[in-house]
Amino acid sequence: MFQRFFVPLDGSPRAEKAIPVAAKLARHSAGTLILARVIVPQAVEGHESNIIANEACLVQDKEVSEARAYLNEIAERYKQELDGLHLILDTLPSNERVSSTLLSLAEQQHTDLIVLCSRAGSRLRRWLFGSIAQDMMRRSPLPVLVLNDHASAFPLGAISLPLRLLVALDGSPRSESVLQSACQLLALFPTTPPHELHLLRVVADPPAFGYFGGEAYAMAIQQKEEGQWAEKYLQEVARKLSLEAGKTGFVVTTSVVTHANPAITILQQAQPTTTLQEGESQNTGYDLIALATHGRSGMKRVLLGSVAEHVFGATTLPLLIVCPVIEAEKKQREVKTEQEEVVAQS
């Protein structure tokens, strides 16, 4: 179960929106909440190198003091939400990209889940320049819960209601790596009434043009077989989750959708909608989307795209993101370090 929750803050009201959600998660796990502020050194102009160094130290000392004062002020302002929690306030100067410093600090604090709020802005700007939230989402060896500040409220705060969590799978072990984190997240909330963990598999829908006669028939047969395989695959995954579901208090449902674009399908399936049944309103959307990402960056991301990033840029729902490739690399480093320590002690 998640026990240690890490919230990066930059001094903006947007970033602070993650505090109440992370506090509720920490409270329900009887865990620890870490509020962190990274200090970005300001450039100091001068002619003598020793003068520049001295002024830089003075500026950094001032910024560290201001960052600590800010975190203390946050702790007082959110006193009601933070009351009774094991709270850690941490600051660290950054001599590299902010996201790298935050991830290093999160690992030093033995974090289980990073909770942050994404910056508002146009989808084009986010695609061209990215953001700290996107950068951490791509590169974090830890699960990341991204809250979108476009949303008027965060569903995870409504703990009295059953949660509906949509998990996107593509049939690979990589995509299944998010299931453990999704179950751990649901385990933090009351189980009555039970939550829903919905497994979604998107089967590729080839373009209608370009196929004639036998080719079109063969494609239709292949698509039908892929749909049947996808249904069997989801049923098998659901069966494996049944034991965990019994302990955590949620039901597992599945669906297979045929579409050419997985990201659009995920967005359409997750989008909250309201229907009327016998005079009562019923929300048929989901409260959170969970999926794994390749962690692509740079030109490779531009050329190949990323389902996680397309969903991130379009949805207002919270996203639970896991990057299994980076997580595996982290575990390999930990094993190597342990082996080196054993050799050094022998």
pLDDT digits (tens, 9 = 90+) for 96-113: 788 888 999 999 999 999
User: Are residues 17 and 124 both part of a single domain?
Assistant: yes
Range of the domain at 156: 151-346
Question: Do 31 and 55 belong to one domain?
Answer: yes
Residues 298 and 321 in one domain: yes
Same structural domain, 52 and 90:
yes
- Close Cβ partners of 11 (under 8 Å, ≥ 6 residues apart): 37, 70
Name the burial class of residue 242, with classes exposed (0-12), middle (13-18) and buried (19+) by CB atoms within 10 angstroms of its CB.
exposed
- Of 150, 169, 202, the residue that ends a domain is 150
Q: Residue 300 above 80 pLDDT? A: no
Of 150, 166, 184, the residue that ends a domain is 150
| 19-23, 42-46, 189-193, 212-216: range with lowest mean pLDDT | 42-46
> Do residue 67 and residue 205 come from a single domain?
no
pLDDT at 22: 95
pTM over 0.85: no
CA dist 340 → 49, 331, 332, 334, 335 (Å): 41, 14, 12, 10, 9
Average confidence score pLDDT of the chain: 79
Q: How confident is the model at residue 126 (pLDDT cuts 50, 70, 90)?
A: very low
Greater confidence, 305 or 12? 12
Choice between 166 and 304, residue whose per-residue pLDDT is larger: 166
Q: Please check whether residues 324 and 209 belong to one and the same domain.
A: yes
Residue 73 has pLDDT above 90, yes or no: yes
End of a domain among 115, 150, 185? 150
- pLDDT-derived band at 45 (thresholds 50, 70, 90) equals very low
Structure tokens at 297: 């960056």
Q: pLDDT digits over 199-218, tens only? A: 999 987 765 555 555 566 66
Helices (H), 31-169: 49-77, 79-82, 98-108, 123-129, 132-139
Tell me how many domains the chain contains.
2
Mean pLDDT of 259-269: 90
SS3 288: strand
CB 31 within 8 A of CB 86: yes
Peptide bond into 162 cis (omega under 30): no
Lowest mean pLDDT among 142-156, 168-182, 292-306: 292-306
12 confidence band (pLDDT: 50, 70, 90): confident
CA distances from 111 to 61, 102, 263, 320, 334 (A): 27, 11, 29, 15, 15
Q: What pLDDT score was predicted for residue 216? A: 62
Same domain, 214 and 141: no
* Whether 197 and 327 share a structural domain: yes
Q: What is the pLDDT of residues 302-341, one digit of tens each?
A: 444 578 888 888 888 899 999 876 555 555 555 555 655 6
Helix (H, G, I), strand (E, B) or coil at 289: strand
